[in-house]
Chains A and B, each alone.
Chain A
Amino acid sequence: MNADPAAVDPSKVEPAKVNPSAFDPTQAKLVSSCKAPGTLYCQWFDEAGNKLYGAGSDGALHVVDLSAVTEAATKKWPLHENYVTGLVKREAVFISSSYDRTLAWTDAETGVLIRRVPAHAGWIRELVMSADGQRVVTVGDDMQVKVWNAQSGEALSTLSGHASQTPEGYASALYAVAVSPNGRHIASGDRAGEVRVWDVEAGKPAASFRVSEFYTFDAQKRARAIGGIRGLAFSADGARLAISGIGQVTNVDGFVGPCRVEVWDWQGGKPIFAGNDKHQAVLNHVVFCQTAPWMIAAGGGDGGGVIAFWNQSSPMPQHLANPKGHVQSFCLDSDSRRLFTAGHEGFQIWQLG
């Protein structure tokens, strides 16, 4: 999600008009990078202000002025007392989520805290905003999906059903969430590989399925697991769901397995595309490119950081780019010509095509 959508009528949302042939990820090039302390877990591109914001392990907001990128991002103010895992900007307010289990509304100009809401009984793993900017949706380690009024902070609904334990009886986690472009459906994905798609209005699951390839439990060698659904994204028409993570891992001490995405016809409950690569990494974030038939995912692991591009013509990605360090999240500008990553090395700005 790119520019501030607060005033946008969702019925009028349409992809930016870009010639798909101009989108050439094989020409992806790192333009600049900007360091930030620790690891950034989330970022927000303010297209109107030409600024990139991010937050992560130090709990603070960091900003890059894209008109004059400096070596290090500017630290603005603290947002949370623990890792920040989600960040969106709505009008002049940041909404952020954290492992401190709260949501915070912060004045984007002054840094004054407007509201802090205890949100989940566990770490909040991700926060996303609906395309119309009216709602934010969070997932947490209480295994709940929660829908919030983005302006008032009022809790609108709670969606429950993900198992709190993995099949082997250990603590699970609810890592990923996405909202369909029309706002009618929410997808959530957990550590054990279960995906649920929720009908927001009915407050009930519309579909659920297990994508077992993304979860590895090694009973024989190490007696523990790795993996899970780390990224989710709806296609522009809302009919397909992209899922990202890591395939079966040979050594659960680390991300030692093929980076992997799958695309599902979620209403039909069937996979329609599986992409992977020998590059050993977990893909933490996935998006459908809105301006071209591409899917982009990024992450990191034993093989180093990676940005993978699929046009879905073959399982192998059509291109892999190698960012500095492990990428936790990324976003595109509105014409999909620039890609912004956040992760261990801070921010990176990539030119696509």
Chain B
Amino acid sequence: MWSNALDPLLRRRAFLRGTLAGAAALGSAGVSVAFDEPAAKPLAGPTKNVLFIWLAGGASQFEMWDPKPGRETGGPFRTIQTSIPGYHIGELMPKTAAMLQHVAVVRSLNTEISEHEQAADLISSGRPAEAGLEYPEIGVLLAKELTVRETLLPDYVSCFTTTEGRRRPRVGFLNAKHSPLLLEKSLRPEHLDLPAGLNESQHTSRERLREQLSSRFAARRAGAELANGYNSAFAKVRGLMQSDTLFNLEKEPEAVRLRYGKTPFGEQCLLARRLIEAGVGVVKVARGFWDSHHDNFESHRELVPDFDHVYSTLLADLHERGLLKSTLVIVLSEFGRTPVINQDVGRDHYATAWSVALAGSGVRGGTVYGKTDPDGKTVVEGQANASDLAATIYKAAGLDLHKEYQAGLRPVPLAKEDAQPIEGILA
């Protein structure tokens, strides 16, 4: 059990207690392997962690956050009252409805692009595509800025265990060392076990030898900076090798596992909570696949209750552990679904008027922002685009929107120049 009261650094140290003291030339996909720069300045806000819940394929705002009961576009689901007076959401989310005091819902996104890949790029980066410049994804930038110096854990863990619409967060113009640790085949990182024929004692001896050689190399030829980076890389590998504890859900009490549910999404979110509690800066989990071109209501009958249960459990668990006040939780997709119900009782892609939800640190819970028309076809109040959403996330995380990065010869601010954070939902 991790202590909630500990500083992230101390929590990381607790995690590393008993670390194997050996070096191994382990290659784990996406692990940052060079010494990382510290955040440019102390964080302005309380946010220490960010959790993205990516509803891959495009979840329907009509069946979730922005229902239109009784309208031709509304479909058959009815609504329920939430903990926000006067605000009703889809009836498939009763547990979430009781947790909305922690949540800010934005119902007025117009992100224009309704093709999966392009839309996912846009929402994930908060930037329209631009020739000759690839922007880092929001999570990558957050991980870079939120991560404190002495971490031996990954800065960013991205969990996407289904294959349709799978994305690997892009580092864009940043160094590849900012790539996240990817969990794709299972919830346990690959290549963590010692190579066959190598025991712990041998592993420890090799690490001592490596340290000696590294120190000599630093003293005689390379200097401390390079050696430090090299040592940091090995230290991260050592940290990951302890992941049998961190990534092993068997270590959770059975009651907690049952509380989340032993579904793939439930287990991803439980792992996310463990990672956040241990001090991983950014975690992304993906729940696929919401692309309901046919049989939309049947697919949402299946998917939304699963989401409702796991999401509400996650928020409650984070809150009870005191983590929600330092963790920003964002639910988003690449787009929403069409108002028109097609001939196959499906809804197609729709980016003109859709919804996302943010909760926890930096967010004014119990807020509903923006409005669509009675049929959900257009935004009539509080329109925001993908850059605005990204700026909102950065600001909720306490980052300076104007901080500049160098992309080749070009300075690039954290948030797009004309982005307007959605102040109405910020704490």
Contacts and interface: CB of A to CB of B under 8 A. Distances in A.
Contacts of B72: 37-38, 57-58
Given A38-B72, A83-B76, A221-B163, A226 B343 contact: no
Interface string A332-349: 000000000001110000
A171 B57 contact: no
Contacts, number: 95
B303 interface: yes
B420 interface: no
Given A226-B295, A253-B293, A326-B345, A171 B302 contact: yes
B82 interface: no
Contacts of B70: 81
Given A38-B72, A83-B76, A254 B263 contact: no
A224 B344 contact: no
A313 to B, nearest CB: 30
A345 B76 contact: no
Interface in A38-71: 38-39, 57-58
A107 B305 CA distance: 38
Nearest to A85: B76
Nearest to B305: A171
B162 A222 contact: yes
A345 B57 contact: no
A278 B203 CA distance: 58
B301 A221 contact: no
Contact of A253 (B57, B265, B287, B345): B57
A39 B288 contact: no
A38 B294 contact: no
Contacts of A171: 301-302, 305
Interface string A284-317: 0000000000000000111001000000000000
A58 B302 CA distance: 24
Contacts of A221: 162-164, 288-289
A123 interface: yes
Interface residues on chain A, size class: 35 or more
A57 B162 contact: no
Interface in B271-322: 287-289, 291-295, 298-299, 301-303, 305-306
A57 B344 contact: no
B344 A254 contact: yes
Nearest to B287: A223
Contacts of B299: 224, 226, 252
B341 interface: yes
Nearest to A324: B343
A82 B78 contact: yes
A99 B298 contact: no
Contacts of B298: 173, 191, 226, 228
B261 interface: yes
Contacts of A83: 76
Given A37-B72, A173-B301, A222 B164 contact: yes
Q: Among the interface residues B70, B262, B293, B343, which one has the most CB atoms of the partner chain A within 10 A?
A: B343
B346 interface: yes
Given A39-B341, A253-B294, A301-B344, A222 B76 contact: no
A255 to B, nearest CB: 5
B54 to A, nearest CB: 13
B190 to A, nearest CB: 17
Contact of B305 (A57, A170, A255, A305): A170
Interface residues on chain B, size class: 20 to 34
B46 interface: no
B288 A223 contact: yes
A341 to B, nearest CB: 13
Q: Among the interface residues B162, B163, B294, which one has the most CB atoms of the partner chain A within 10 A?
A: B294
Contacts of B288: 221-224
B27 interface: no
Contact of A254 (B76, B163, B293): B293
B374 interface: no
A226 B342 CA distance: 17
A344 B263 CA distance: 35
B76 A123 contact: yes
Contacts of A176: none
A249 B283 CA distance: 32
A118 interface: no
A114 B306 CA distance: 39
A253 B344 contact: no
Contacts of B346: 254
B264 interface: yes
Contacts of A38: 72, 341
Nearest to A304: B343
A57 B293 contact: no
Contacts of A58: 72
Contacts of A37: 72
Contacts of A268: none
Contacts of B341: 38-39, 57
Contact of B344 (A81, A220, A225, A300): A300
B295 A326 contact: no
B295 A345 contact: no
9 contacts: A37-B72, A170-B305, A171-B301, A171-B305, A173-B298, A224-B289, A224-B299, A300-B344, A305-B343
Given A58-B72, A83-B76, 16 more contacts: A57-B341, A81-B70, A169-B263, A173-B298, A219-B162, A220-B163, A222-B57, A222-B164, A222-B289, A223-B287, A224-B303, A226-B298, A253-B57, A253-B294, A254-B295, A302-B294
Interface of B: 57, 70, 72, 76, 78, 162-164, 261-265, 287-289, 291-295, 298-299, 301-303, 305-306, 341-346
10 closest residue pairs by CB, A with B? A222-B289, A254-B294, A344-B343, A221-B164, A253-B291, A326-B343, A170-B302, A99-B76, A254-B293, A325-B343
